[in-house]
Structure 1
């Protein structure tokens, strides 16, 4: 017997389920509640004043509809609850438990009850409520919060000029139909700081708590998110010049998108061309002639379409005021490249410095304060908007990384917002009532109506009020598919005429991984890779990533090679790769995965595999799962690196032979990146990979400070390699591999190699930009126009040849081999092909040796190169 756990589930007004051990027939089961949280178990007896409702076993168990909605509870015993809705609502505002007694009335079992299901049922109308701070045309203001289980809620109230002293307390009135509490005022409230004072039973402490909590629907915040602020997003003082007439860059379909991922802080923290107060902030993007913005303009001109920002909403782990942010001690630049001192000094202050990726949400719909030049107030709103306008002005649409799958904390923690207002509702609970944390923090439950509503409402806030052009969902597989489709439907309803936004042009993509307590659709149909086919929502293609890089995301030995890291073609000598014949077979398997990726990871695409068999992407398996799972190419996000795991340069440093010269490493880096540019579907790269950016081999730099993360736009400052051993807290198991590499000065690229790599990458972007064959929108088009004419057992290991057919023919030869190769395509004999004009006009002398012989149909491509040929064929 344990009231601190909630093993029963009250799923709707008439149904409670509970998993029993042993028969139920001779037991008397009751639903009990105590308005004052006075229930206790003393000497095996339930004590404390309480009310009781008898529970009756439902012989047929859950209905078909209930089993579909609650699959993880399908085998539980079902009970009927017989009570009117007013009694139920009263019970829900107290401590709720379930008991079982024997025939003599002796207490056998007692446990708490999980309440989200019944809350969604009896307060179903709440999904239509306007929450947060709302300004009305008649001069009124309403502040509302959903708190159906609270005994009472009041507004704590401070003046606009500060939060010193005790607050004024304003009573709020409760709408019993929705469970929403509200208070009304007028526009004169603008600028005032507020919190909700909530009296509510909390299962984490087993008592009635009175807590002071910020608004989950906050529009503006004070520094360090201590107080919400009454603000009107339509206030002219918060709207930059020409904001309402902002011209968006031309919309592209998901299949044509090229996305560049960057952290707000990384972008400018080391950019000396940005005024110091603006470094690491939204305002740096509104500094038009900075080194970073000049580079973004080059990328946009060449064909990059979207800038993806790592979390830029309000997060919890960074002091927002610059004066409160700690700096590492000493001169880190004076330390050896393989020293452990740099990371040790960062470790001393990493909980107090200004750096974090931000995957620790606090308030979902407010810009992050540490990214503002003035976090105490609404300036962060204006600066975020100015950033969007500036990026749109250079030709880039803006994507936000959103993290609705978890919060930084739950329970009564001071960083817990949602769970202190409606305890036990917004988070996903395990069988005994503990909060699930498979995402590394307190998992939210978007399957519950009001958490799902918060997701949709927040996305619309960013799309309409901040003109954000896309959303990348973190750990999207922890969302129900229905929730993501509700987001898509809500965006699709936005129109330029009514909302100032064409919602249909807004991208949605995310991590479709399948793991944790929701894996295998245990609780709902997930928004995971395979299940989003046909929805137009994109997911990251880990099959292509792993084939190109080698190994897998969380490998123990970083020397495991792949297609672009030298497997079989540039062996590094590590036993992890096996003997040559094993390497050759593995490399050809990687060929097949890459080909499926190049077609947009389509389940339906048919080609000849390395085995010689005709297969489809969906019938070709990788790690026990179909390699191809998309229904259209725009649902595939092709990438070879991102903020997670080692950035591409560091991956190559681990995997390529140490003797390989920097320029040859740059060629292999371009080869890897080419698969994100020249394939079908959305291309995605981590910022700086086109300029050989390194994080000194750090595989998880979320809390590693500016030292390991900042982009160094000036190539004379290096690329970030050799800044010391990566932080011990997540890399020490690889120090034996990392130390010798970091100490080797030959691995550091010269500035001219960095600039050479940028130029070659821009050429690839221009090739994609100028041809409709890269970025086809349908599976039928891809099947008709994309082929791999030399596929099969005789294909040259390390060489993939792709043909695209249209008004003109395009032939792409990806050559990972450290020697010139020839590829014979007899069907193209008599045709006229030449190196693509963008590559021909470039400065790569080696690539200029690429050639086509019309007499034989042979393409010649030099070592470690990607050659794109354009022309016409006589035979079709």
Structure 2
């Protein structure tokens, strides 16, 4: 007979009896607390194909340290089953009240003479610190450490259990660059965990590493331009790997963080990589995930591929993005990138994936506190709103604290300027608001935005950080999927033939008006800063590939439609968001979701930027237009209501903002409009100032901007 027993609440013990078994065996089962039998009545509550689930109510609430065991006792035999595991009891409010720790000293606290290690593991019976040795002396083979401790320290240190289940030990001496792991004992079951609060690790997260924070880069460069509100930003999304991996980038450290700051690169007299980025005029560069991910061994970088939306650690930078993987490079390479970008008036936002992890069983927090970290829609099945196998229980007090702590760390250590949250609708509202409160104390102009979809999770709808609850999260922006679907057309493969207003469907003009006003006049969003306006991001087909699939256009019309949609984004109220390559008609051969499709599909071919440099120049001029005229960056809903007006002229839309008059022609026909007096044409294909009067010609698929 095989039994697995679990403590699921302070007075609830449940166990599975695996088939084949006679349920009459329940009469021979006895329950023991430590070494004393306690009264228990067993009730079958569920049957599956392989087991029965049985529950019993404990006579009094259980306490930490007590061991509950079932014994089979008959006339012919008796034996104990393995001790009951603390399971869903850790997800109760009472558990958080008893054990949630609010100190700011978890992880290694380094000094030159000693290091104190603290780890939260309240359900462990014993925790030991295992010193592995100096990081540079350790080698890996097949993921296993080979060399033994050679630094003069003992291998193991028994840690002392303290308040709230925090285990502590202080090791004397200078432990800079010392590798370590935690060894945990749960009623005889042993496991090893890395430290979720360390600053660095060995390759593939095989061990954590102590660092001296005094050796972190601390140069602070402030961007020259001021960002009064989110609307002042122009966000440009890219992948560290994709941006420089192709040889046409002319970058030496291709696909690396260091390659992202190499200067003076170009081909045929045109800029590539960082030089190109600086030339665009955008304000914020959003880096797709750069924190440690789980897709492949870091040494296999050039033969494997993944975007990194499968987190391994939130506290450490991905090793395969380093030109040379050393413990300090995992801090300083990213910090150096941010420093250089700030010197060139570019801010840096990080794409973070706090909604799930790559492998649930292998995540450090799950090893430290089993069953605490994930949501379950049944006692045994993980909630999977992420569609990646698991989702983090952000509403748990210690997970919430951890997420907030990491966000604050990114600002303090890396000096970043914003965070984009993957599947933010799986996080809870309170966590998002706490993040906003903490990071904006450090940087008032810090940006926070994410995907606010309503995902299928067990988290109640009223707690989800989804777009519908924007009024509860005033500091958080949301990717405006209505903008994407209306201007470009739907993106899912089953609706890929749907065309939007930007591709000529004039029947969507009323929706387009709302979107041009930042979705704040129709009640969809609380404020302009919450509308992240986009038609392309790393997900789904590129805009160019969608356009090719939907319409049979020649090269001229493809360029014209690309320019037109770029213009709509840049003249809309709210926050413009551009995906790398959108401005030079990037193609992925029609592929939809290329997260693991490899460099051949994903790497930027910089010849495309040269081939379509007229579109690139048009985008640069749009950026100048937006940044020069505050009318495209109105500060409030009140200002929109006071300043913005629409008039329809046949299929042309006239959009007036104070003394600016914008002619929007989504059709494939030229229109003529009789101006009431002299105006100044300030934008056609570029910024200009040309007096115009009388008859104005409005070319097809064009945006013109005039000023009184």
Q: Do the two structures share a fold, i.e. TM-score over 0.5? A: yes
Do 1:404 and 1:474's aligned partners in 2 also have CA atoms closer than 8 Å?
Answer: yes
Any residues of structure 2 matched to 1:40-51 within 5 Å, and which? 43-45=25-27, 47=29, 50-51=32-33
Shift of 1:365: 1.5
Shift of 1:644: 0.3
Do 2:288 and 2:351's aligned partners in 1 also have CA atoms closer than 8 Å?
Answer: yes
Residue in structure 2 matched with residue 527 of structure 1 by the alignment: 465
Give the structure-1-normalised TM-score: 0.70
Q: Deviations over 1:196-242 (max 9, x none)?
A: 111226xxxxxx5311221122211111221111112332xx42xxx
Any residues of structure 2 matched to 1:321-470 within 5 Å, and which? 321=299, 324-325=300-301, 327=303, 353=304, 355-411=305-361, 415-441=362-388, 442-470=390-418
Any residues of structure 2 matched to 1:624-773 within 5 Å, and which? 629-657=524-552, 660-715=553-608, 751-752=610-611, 754-773=612-631
Shift of 1:297: 5.1
Match of 1:829 among 659, 662, 676: 676
Whether 1:282 and 2:140 are equivalent positions in the alignment is no
Any residues of structure 2 matched to 1:722-871 within 5 Å, and which? 751-752=610-611, 754-790=612-648, 796-797=650-651, 799-805=652-658, 809-823=659-673, 829-830=676-677, 832-836=678-682, 839=685, 853=693, 859-870=696-707
- Number of equivalent positions: 656
Shift of 1:171: 2.6
Match of 2:177 among 191, 213, 224: 191
Any residues of structure 2 matched to 1:497-508 within 5 Å, and which? 503-508=443-448
Match of 1:231 among 169, 192, 211: 211
Alpha-carbon distance between aligned partners in 2 of 1:180 and 1:46, rounded to the nearest angstrom: 39
Do 1:32 and 1:53's aligned partners in 2 also have CA atoms closer than 8 Å?
Answer: no
Cα distance change, pair 829–765 in 1 and its aligned pair in 2 (3 A): same
Whether 1:270 and 2:264 are equivalent positions in the alignment is no
Alpha-carbon distance between aligned partners in 2 of 1:5 and 1:640, rounded to the nearest angstrom: 51
Alpha-carbon distance between aligned partners in 1 of 2:351 and 2:275, rounded to the nearest angstrom: 21
Alpha-carbon distance between aligned partners in 2 of 1:538 and 1:223, rounded to the nearest angstrom: 35
Cα distance change, pair 477–823 in 1 and its aligned pair in 2 (3 A): farther
Q: Deviations over 1:156-203 (max 9, x none)?
A: 2111111424565323434443111122124611111111111226xx
Q: Deviations over 1:369-390 (max 9, x none)?
A: 0100122422232211111112
Alpha-carbon distance between aligned partners in 1 of 2:620 and 2:428, rounded to the nearest angstrom: 38
Cα distance change, pair 301–120 in 1 and its aligned pair in 2 (3 A): farther
Do 2:386 and 2:455's aligned partners in 1 also have CA atoms closer than 8 Å?
Answer: no
Q: Deviations over 1:381-418 (max 9, x none)?
A: 2211111112212211000000011011123xxx3322
Any residues of structure 2 matched to 1:85-124 within 5 Å, and which? 87-91=62-66, 113-118=88-93, 120-124=95-99
Alpha-carbon distance between aligned partners in 2 of 1:41 and 1:474, rounded to the nearest angstrom: 47
Q: Deviations over 1:250-306 (max 9, x none)?
A: 341111111000000011101445454x11000012212224975655655654110
Do 1:256 and 1:776's aligned partners in 2 also have CA atoms closer than 8 Å?
Answer: no
Any residues of structure 2 matched to 1:593-604 within 5 Å, and which? 593-602=511-520
Residue in structure 1 matched with residue 194 of structure 2 by the alignment: 214
Cα distance change, pair 840–758 in 1 and its aligned pair in 2 (3 A): closer
Q: Secondary structure, in 3 states, of the residue corresponding to 1:674?
A: helix
Cα distance change, pair 802–171 in 1 and its aligned pair in 2 (3 A): same
Alpha-carbon distance between aligned partners in 1 of 2:360 and 2:250, rounded to the nearest angstrom: 38
Cα distance change, pair 852–592 in 1 and its aligned pair in 2 (3 A): farther
Cα distance change, pair 114–121 in 1 and its aligned pair in 2 (3 A): closer
Match of 2:105 among 105, 111, 130: 130
Do 1:564 and 1:816's aligned partners in 2 also have CA atoms closer than 8 Å?
Answer: yes
Alpha-carbon distance between aligned partners in 1 of 2:565 and 2:57, rounded to the nearest angstrom: 60
Q: Mean Cα displacement is larger for which, 435-444 or 261-270? A: 435-444
Do 1:548 and 1:562's aligned partners in 2 also have CA atoms closer than 8 Å?
Answer: yes
Alpha-carbon distance between aligned partners in 2 of 1:539 and 1:786, rounded to the nearest angstrom: 23
Root-mean-square deviation (CA, aligned residues, Å) is: 3.2
Residue in structure 2 matched with residue 101 of structure 1 by the alignment: none
Shift of 1:82: 7.6
Residue in structure 2 matched with residue 70 of structure 1 by the alignment: none
Shift of 1:839: 3.9
Give the structure-2-normalised TM-score: 0.85
Shift of 1:595: 1.7
Alpha-carbon distance between aligned partners in 1 of 2:38 and 2:437, rounded to the nearest angstrom: 41
Cα distance change, pair 169–118 in 1 and its aligned pair in 2 (3 A): farther
Q: Secondary structure, in 3 states, of the residue corresponding to 1:156?
A: strand
Any residues of structure 2 matched to 1:165-184 within 5 Å, and which? 165-166=147-148, 169-184=155-170
Shift of 1:697: 1.1
Cα distance change, pair 293–246 in 1 and its aligned pair in 2 (3 A): farther
Alpha-carbon distance between aligned partners in 2 of 1:508 and 1:46, rounded to the nearest angstrom: 58
Q: Secondary structure, in 3 states, of the residue corresponding to 1:514?
A: coil
Cα distance change, pair 851–669 in 1 and its aligned pair in 2 (3 A): farther
Cα distance change, pair 864–420 in 1 and its aligned pair in 2 (3 A): same
Shift of 1:564: 2.1
Q: Deviations over 1:764-817 (max 9, x none)?
A: 111001011111121101111122122xxxx534x3321110xxx112222221
Q: Deviations over 1:574-603 (max 9, x none)?
A: xxxxxxxxxxxxx42x2222221211111x
Alpha-carbon distance between aligned partners in 2 of 1:96 and 1:218, rounded to the nearest angstrom: 39
Residue in structure 2 matched with residue 315 of structure 1 by the alignment: 293
Do 1:32 and 1:96's aligned partners in 2 also have CA atoms closer than 8 Å?
Answer: no
Whether 1:536 and 2:483 are equivalent positions in the alignment is no
Do 1:851 and 1:860's aligned partners in 2 also have CA atoms closer than 8 Å?
Answer: no
- The gaps in structure 2 that reach 5 residues or longer are 17-21, 42-55, 72-83, 139-144
Residue in structure 2 matched with residue 739 of structure 1 by the alignment: none
Alpha-carbon distance between aligned partners in 1 of 2:591 and 2:400, rounded to the nearest angstrom: 35
Q: Secondary structure, in 3 states, of the residue corresponding to 1:472?
A: strand
Do 2:486 and 2:501's aligned partners in 1 also have CA atoms closer than 8 Å?
Answer: yes
Shift of 1:132: 1.4
Whether 1:565 and 2:565 are equivalent positions in the alignment is no
Shift of 1:446: 0.4
Alpha-carbon distance between aligned partners in 1 of 2:475 and 2:543, rounded to the nearest angstrom: 28
Cα distance change, pair 275–769 in 1 and its aligned pair in 2 (3 A): closer
Alpha-carbon distance between aligned partners in 2 of 1:836 and 1:181, rounded to the nearest angstrom: 66
